[in-house]
Amino acid sequence: MIYIGLTGWGDHYSIYPPQIKPKDKLSEYGSHFPIVEIDSSFYAVQSVHTVAKWVRETPETFRFVVKAYQGMTGHKREELPFESKKEMFQAFKESLKPFEEANKLAMVLFQFPPWFECRTENVNYLRYCKKMMGDIPIALEFRNQSWFNEQFYSSTLSFMKQEGWVHSIADEPQAGVGSIPIVPVATNEKRTLIRLHGRNFHGWTRPKNAETNWREVRYLYKYNEAELLEWKTRIKELAKQSKDILIVFNNNSGGDAAGNAKELQKLLDIEYDNLSPQQLRLF
């Protein structure tokens, strides 16, 4: 099955009624889309209480893609709030239990930083991550082009298949070593993840500085119909390789993600059952 959703549920104003309260947004989001990607788990390991609340606010068939904590992917390189890597992974896995118990965990996404190159020590670390996560489905997204250079392309995909990683296929600007090409290959027969970041080349390559919110610049992009039709073709092919295809739009700096997601849903002729009922709005 093909599932389409967005990254986060807080900022997608185009799908929310005016004056909606933040606490009501996830429930309202669940009336539009069957999946969501959680970004807050990247910045801090979430409490079981918070996760249980998210579980209660979503339909029975709703699913979450949970980003791995930044200490686990090497983004946070200063002192971590854990005694050891083992403790860090255990705390993160503990936070996932309400998702698992409700059968609402689609997968955990390990997105590695641009400096995570294709080297022996990094391949070994991927094996460590897989071992620590056990049977939890985990997706792998690179941000360093070396993994898909001609020299390593086939080996990278073979490694992911052998180790059981879900391929997180990215659509992003082609901006040198700190970006990856579209690699429409499934590495897991059960599920594949697609993340659409937009194609704002200048925003992607703009230097970070204190005066600019680089995320707002980087993800400012609206996919046109021709680009979505390109993805329709890829998705149809990927659906032959993987039972479930999960697609999340991350191009929301200008509020375009929700609209693009609904456009793609229409192009694929998909209608979702079992979404949250929309509240009756009299005023």
For the chain, the DSSP string reads -EEEEEE-SSS-GGGS-TT--GGGHHHHHTTT-SEEEE-HHHHSPPPHHHHHHHHHTS-TT-EEEEEPPHHHHTS--S--SSSSHHHHHHHHHHHTHHHHHTT-EEEEEEE--TT--S-HHHHHHHHHHHHHHTTS-EEEE---GGGGSTTTHHHHHHHHHHHTPEEEEEE----GGGS-------S-SSEEEEEE----HHHHHSPP-TTS-HHHHHT-----HHHHHHHHHHHHHHTTT-SEEEEEE--TTTT-HHHHHHHHHHHTT----SPPPPPP---
Residue 208 CB neighbour total at 10 angstroms: 10
Residue 183 lies in a domain: yes
In a domain, 277, yes or no: no
In a domain, 272, yes or no: no
Q: Is 278 among the domain residues?
A: no
* Owning domain of residue 228: 2-267
281 located within any domain:
no
Q: What is the CATH classification number for the domain harbouring 195?
A: 3.20.20.410
**283 within domain boundaries:** no
Rg (CA), the chain: 18
Which pTM does this prediction carry?
0.92
Give me the number of domains the chain comprises: 1
Residues facing 249 on adjacent strands: 6, 196
Q: Is residue 279 part of a domain?
A: no
pLDDT 10s per residue in the chain (283 long)?
Answer: 999 999 999 888 889 888 889 899 999 999 999 999 999 999 999 999 999 999 999 999 999 999 999 999 988 767 777 788 999 999 999 999 999 999 999 999 999 999 999 999 999 999 999 999 999 999 999 999 999 999 999 999 999 999 999 999 999 988 888 889 999 999 999 999 999 998 876 766 676 654 456 566 777 789 999 999 999 999 999 999 999 999 999 998 778 999 999 999 999 999 998 787 765 443 3
Distance CA 35, CA 192 (A): 13
